[in-house]
A and B are shown apart, each in its own frame.
Chain A
Amino acid sequence: MEQVYVLGIDRALDAESRVERLVTDHQVKLARFVRRFVGDGDCALDIVQDVFFAAYKTLRADPSRPLSAGWLYKTATNRAISHLRRAKRRGETVSLDNVATTFRSDETSAATLDVQTALATLGEEALACVLLTTYAGYTSGEAALILGRSADAVRQRVCRAMKTMRASLGERT
């Protein structure tokens, strides 16, 4: 696991300074993670901004609270899941071509676009399990803590999600 995901925060700093440090250290990776989750860059930036602002409010309420990257990923995951569920309730379905278009301007690899298309076929829970483990680098135990599930449940979901993704990737290749 990379150092950035378990980075501790200096508690001697005030809330604003701590949030600035969190933003500096995690904004790019968190934004990419959320964009993979929701399939939309603008929406991902809104969510990431909300996450950091929530971190600021949390630290302002309790300045001594240890706030790590895990908290950021947990909050971002919950908000991304909520966003996808709201979009589903409203009947907003993002076509696979649109998902690819979102990434086309930034990514050059066709395989990357295929992976995003395959990720878009997963449900929210399975998507969270796959992205937290294989994309963000958390173990199944850590992902279980973030999602409030058991480690075995996370492993099962990863297995089934990979079967689904394999079918999707197989169709495109």
Chain B
Amino acid sequence: MTVAHDAFDTLAGAIALGEATPLERATFTSHAATCGTCAASSDAFAAVRDAIVASREDERWSPSVDARVRARIGDERNRRTRATFGAFHWAIAFSLALNVAFFSGFVGRLATKLHETGEPSSAVLATMWVTEHKRHRPSADIAAVVVAARATRPTRTIVARRALGSLREPTAATDEIPDVLAGLDVDAHAPRRVASVTAMRCKNAAHDECPVGRVVDAP
């Protein structure tokens, strides 16, 4: 079908719907005089349109959906109400729980308990160690605490090593750091027990220049 003939289809549709202007009718009529297809179809359009209109007039089906729609709207309203009240109930329950927790002192006790049971952080220990190290003040106690932390949490030694390794300008004193921590890193270097390492470091600490103590490999 050509583009030009599409235009005549449009005109034929307008005529079939009764929307064509006199000029459009004249244009289509002159075309239909030379086009057998359009001439035949235009005559039949009115009959088809009349049949459709007649079928609409003949319809006797009169359904009613208002009850179904009303029921569905009611269900929707109930669902929204339930959802709203559900959220409201949860909010009230949560508020009550918070109030009980505060007024009974549970929150205060919990906070205190958390402070008391918190293990010394290896990062804090490392910071303390480095601070003491920079001040050139020996602090053998800190090394002992680091060993204790190492015994309970093996990964914290690594954290301490990283913190110590962040010193930008190593001094003679900071050079001792790897020796100390090498002795603590028992899992990586030797099958020794932490207890023996602790004892060894305590024994050697008094004879070394390191403010904390040098840990040497066991024989």
- The 8 A CB mask of A136-173 against B (1 = contact, 0 = none) is 00011000000000001011111110110110010000
A114 within 8 A of B: yes
Could you tell me the distance in whole angstroms from the C-beta of A52 to the nearest C-beta in chain B? 5
> Inside 8 A of A20's CB, which chain B residues have their CB?
66, 70
Tell me which of B51, B52, B62 has the highest count of chain A C-beta atoms within 10 A of its own C-beta.
B52
* A156→B13 contact, CB < 8 A: yes
Instruction: Tell me the bound Cα distance from A45 to B6 in angstroms.
Output: 37
* A107→B59 contact, CB < 8 A: yes
* B64→A166 contact, CB < 8 A: no
Q: Which of A23-31, A64-72, A93-101 contacts B (4 or more CB under 8 A)?
A: A23-31
> Inside 8 A of B55's CB, which chain A residues have their CB?
36, 107, 109, 111-112, 115-116
In the complex, chain B residues 59-116 whose Cβ is within 8 Å of any chain A Cβ:
59-66, 68-70, 72-73, 76
* A152→B10 contact, CB < 8 A: yes
Residue from B11, B19, B69 in contact with A19 in the complex, judged by beta carbons closer than 8 Å: B69
Instruction: Tell me the bound Cα distance from A116 to B56 in angstroms.
Output: 10
B132 within 8 A of A: no
* B64→A27 contact, CB < 8 A: yes
With A130-B52, A162-B44 known as contacts, the answer to whether A53 contacts B69 (CB < 8 A) is yes
Instruction: Tell me the bound Cα distance from A112 to B52 in angstroms.
Output: 8
Could you tell me the distance in whole angstroms from the C-beta of B99 to the nearest C-beta in chain A? 36
Could you tell me the distance in whole angstroms from the C-beta of B7 to the nearest C-beta in chain A? 8
Instruction: Tell me the bound Cα distance from A152 to B59 in angstroms.
Output: 30
* A115→B51 contact, CB < 8 A: yes
B218 within 8 A of A: no
> Inside 8 A of B72's CB, which chain A residues have their CB?
49, 53
In the complex, chain A residues 104-120 whose Cβ is within 8 Å of any chain B Cβ:
106-109, 111-112, 114-116, 118-119
* B16→A106 contact, CB < 8 A: no
* B52→A106 contact, CB < 8 A: no
Could you tell me the distance in whole angstroms from the C-beta of A101 to the nearest C-beta in chain B? 14
B119 within 8 A of A: no
Looking across the interface, which residue of chain A has its beta carbon closest to that of B45?
A162
A83 within 8 A of B: no
Could you tell me the distance in whole angstroms from the C-beta of A143 to the nearest C-beta in chain B? 9
With A32-B56, A52-B65, A106-B61 known as contacts, the answer to whether A165 contacts B48 (CB < 8 A) is yes
Indicate the size class of the contact surface on chain B: 35 or more
* A32→B65 contact, CB < 8 A: no
* A23→B69 contact, CB < 8 A: yes
* A27→B65 contact, CB < 8 A: yes
Looking across the interface, which residue of chain A has its beta carbon closest to that of B73?
A56
B4 within 8 A of A: no
> Inside 8 A of B49's CB, which chain A residues have their CB?
134, 162
A75 within 8 A of B: no
B169 within 8 A of A: no
- The 8 A CB mask of B177-214 against A (1 = contact, 0 = none) is 00000000000000000000000000000000000000
> Inside 8 A of B10's CB, which chain A residues have their CB?
152, 155-156, 159
Q: Which residues of B are at the interface with A, using a C-beta cutoff of 8 A?
A: 6, 9-14, 16-17, 19, 41, 44-45, 47-49, 51-56, 58-66, 68-70, 72-73, 76
Q: Which residues of A are at the interface with B, using a C-beta cutoff of 8 A?
A: 16, 19-20, 23-24, 27-28, 31-32, 35-36, 41, 44-45, 48-49, 52-53, 56-57, 106-109, 111-112, 114-116, 118-119, 130, 133-135, 139-140, 152, 154-160, 162-163, 165-166, 169
Can you name 13 extra interface pairs (CB under 8 A) apart from A112-B55, A135-B52? A27-B64, A49-B68, A53-B69, A106-B61, A107-B55, A111-B58, A115-B51, A154-B13, A155-B12, A155-B19, A158-B17, A159-B10, A162-B49
